Amino acid sequence: MRGVLRIALLAATVVLAGLLLFPTASHAGRSCEPAHLTGRQVQQGMALAERTAQALDASGARVVLLARAGQDLSKYGLRWSHTGIAYKTDAGPWRVAHKLNQCGTAVAGLYRQGLGEFFLDDPYRYEAAWSVPALTVQSQLMALLAATPASGIGRLHTPAYSLVSHAWAVRYQQSNQWVIETLALAMEPGTITDRGQAQAWLRFKGYVPTALALGPLTRLGARMSKANVAFDDHPNDKRFADRIETVTADSVFSWLQGSGLGSAPVTLGL
């Protein structure tokens, strides 16, 4: 009973803080309509945040790449939708640095939030997954996170957003793409100065994007009805062959494990 009360109190605190700090809702690919979370959803979100924090503490990691299941992407063979860089603060709590699309527009921004806010974004499933980077990668990421945004995690940020931005283009940048390009910057801070160089490093390290098979009607409908979806950065030969190559959380986890830069993903659910 005491644990339930503690979760409820924490939930109320986080929700209030979110209302004060983020009066205009910003979600990965969603509108600005009020979410109207139920008490059950708040309890589940905060319970997942608490269990995730306990598991991350037990792992001994200082930085992980953390994913949530915000949408049902099973028809594309994908399990996770959105990735952020979660890190242990000196004060104790875990925070998540991630990129969020602003209310379904063609613009996105960078945010630092607590685990509670991260998992209260109306997920499709109350599950989390994370990969623990190698110690060197963790150290380099922590240095970047500690820097000012202009010289740290914001250096390669592109506000122009497309949910399916091409993995090897720089016109747009979606959330998962920002994560791995920032990881590349962290690993080569004295060499990488732009997104093109970060993508070259990712290619060299063997990253392979996900190729989504989208039919022409799907592409046309998405482009006409959604401001946060664009296909004009994809090469014509692949775009018209319905081969949309973009960065997904699932492909990031596979790459981290295969390259030795991170562990196999750990999953946790309610």
Residues 197-244 have pLDDT tens digits of 999 999 999 999 999 987 654 544 455 457 889 989 999 988 888 889
Q: How confident is the model at residue 34 (pLDDT cuts 50, 70, 90)?
A: low
The tokens for 222 are 């998405």
Helices (H) and strands (E) in the chain, counts: 9, 8
Residue 196 contacts by C-beta under 8 Å, 6 or more apart in sequence?
170
Residues 136-164 have pLDDT tens digits of 999 999 999 999 999 999 999 999 999 99
What pLDDT is recorded for position 15?
39
Residue 230 contacts by C-beta under 8 Å, 6 or more apart in sequence?
106, 162, 164, 165, 171, 172, 223
Domain count, the chain: 1
Decide: 268 and 129 in contact? Cβ < 8 Å.
yes
What whole-number distance in Å separates Cα of residue 147 and Cα of residue 182?
13
Residues 63-106 have pLDDT tens digits of 999 999 998 999 889 999 999 999 999 999 999 999 999 888 99
Residues 116-134 have pLDDT tens digits of 999 997 788 999 999 999 9
Helices 175-187 and 195-204, packing angle to 10 deg: 80
What whole-number distance in Å separates Cα of residue 15 and Cα of residue 21?
10
Q: Which domain holds residue 189?
A: 2-269
Give the global pTM: 0.87
